[in-house]
Amino acid sequence: MPYVSTADGTQIFYKDWGSGRPVVFSHGWPLNADAWDNQLHLAASHGLRAIAHDRRGHGRSGQPWHGNDMDTYADDLATLLSRPTPTPQACPSRSSTPSGPGSRPTVPGSTKELAVPFYGFNREGAQPSQGVIDAFWLWSMQAGVKGALDYVKAFSETDFTHDLQNIDVPTLVVHGDDDQIMPIGASAPRSAELLKDATLKVYPGAPHGLSGAFEQAFNDDLLSFVTS
């Protein structure tokens, strides 16, 4: 499997599919690059180069005691992208990456429970998919306890205001308005305001994790954005 070594010796696993203009996908807590497989396949199938990695402490990457913070995560990604490869020109993100699930540790019971509101399976009329829940659990169980706990602290306490204000490229911000993990009022609209050139796309009734028709809508918007 492909790995790069960071400055502190941590091994970072990554996927690099297809060729063309790079599109980079970065997962959230407590998942790994596999959560983006549908989008990686979509991008690579449309003449793009799709790149995703497992953050330190997650998936197949190393589980160091230190460095589970946002600045180091960014440095790790910079190390990956500084390989002999073009610099990514489009780095989409979506609301289906976990951004604020609280302080639940990565243990079997809590991750399976978390998958239910994550994908909105607790809403009236929802059709829960055991396969989706099992996949979420499998990805989550590959995360180390130390990295998972540190990540909760990192994403709940880090202020990205200055970072967002310094982004000067076109940015697509997407969010479901029925997100139970990171309620939309505390996230997407404010991010769009801070960015210099943002397009805000809100999916009515969509949960944090996008599946089914919600995922298809996102895929269409993503492909349109990165190929425009």
Per-residue pLDDT of 138-150, as tens digits, reads 999 999 999 999 9
- The tokens for 192 are 């769009």
Does 190 map to a domain? no
Give which of 108, 147, 128 is closest to 30, Cα–Cα: 147
Does 166 map to a domain? no
pLDDT at 83: 85
Count the domains in the chain: 1
Q: What is the residue range of 148's domain?
A: 3-159+213-223
Q: How many residues does the chain have?
A: 228
Q: What is the pTM of this model?
A: 0.87
- Looking up residue 152, the CATH number of its domain turns out to be 3.40.50.1820
Ranges of the chain whose pLDDT falls below 50: 86-106
Beta strands in the chain (DSSP E): 3-5, 11-18, 21-26, 48-53, 171-176, 198-203
pLDDT at 99: 38
pLDDT at 151: 92
